[in-house]
Amino acid sequence: MAKITYIEHDGTEHAIDVKTGLSVMEGAVKNNIPGIDADCGGACACATCHVYVDEEWVDKVGKPSAMEESMLDFAENVESNSRLSCQIKVSDELEGLIIRMPASQH
Ligand code: FES
């Protein structure tokens, strides 16, 4: 379990306990947090689960895989801390993680 704070583009914060083994995307979708669409259901095939990892957390969360990198090309406004949230697995080490959602997923 890890507490993850999801911050919508308008600044609305949602602090949620997400079970270990779920993805950061699943934690949002299961809790009806707006801002992550996840059209492909987590298959790394849509880029509508794009999020920004808080700068303090970038090293701990790690780098995207080559496949994720190529999907990120389809997202808008990609930054150096961009990730696809379906590709971030929740673990106890991510307790306190802060994620920001982009203005739009399309
Ligand atoms: S849910 Fe489709 S790429 Fe993450």
pLDDT of amino acid 98:
98
The pLDDT value given to residue 19: 97
Residues in the chain: 106
Q: Which atom of ligand 1 is nearest to the CA of 84?
A: 4
88 lines ligand 1 (CB under 6 A): no
Question: Of 52, 48, 16, 21, which Cα lies nearest the Cα of 33?
Answer: 16
State pTM to two decimals: 0.96
90, 21 Cβ separation under 8 angstroms = yes
pLDDT the model gives residue 93: 96
Could you list the mean pLDDT of each consecutive 10-residue stretch along the chain, which spans 106 residues? Answer: 98 98 98 97 97 98 97 96 98 98 94
- Structure confidence at residue 54 (pLDDT): 98
Strand 50-53 to 98-100 pairing = antiparallel
| 38 Cβ closer than 6 Å to some ligand 1 atom | yes
**Opening angle at CA 58, ends 61 and 14, nearest 5:** 80
